[in-house]
Amino acid sequence: MANTTKIEDTQERKKLKRAARKKAAPKAKRTEPRGSKKKKVRKLVRGQSKR
């Protein structure tokens, strides 16, 4: 994306970013589902106190 850090005017910056986003090549589809690499949390055993 275009580097817009130097531009102070918010609206102008927004316009430039949108234009850059339209010009950019579309992202590829995901190969694996979102969050599949997240560490899974196991449920606590019933009856075991949390503290």
Asked if residues 4 and 17 have their Cβ atoms less than 8 Å apart, the reply is yes
pLDDT at 15 > cutoff 80: yes
pTM for the model: 0.48
Per cent of the chain over pLDDT 70 is: 84
pLDDT band at 48 (very low <50, low <70, confident <90, very high): low
Per cent of the chain over pLDDT 90 is: 35
pLDDT at 13 > cutoff 70: yes
Pairwise CA distance, residues 15 & 10, whole Å: 9
- Exposure letters 6-24 (e unless 16+ CB within 10 A, then b): eeeeeeeeeebeeeeeeee
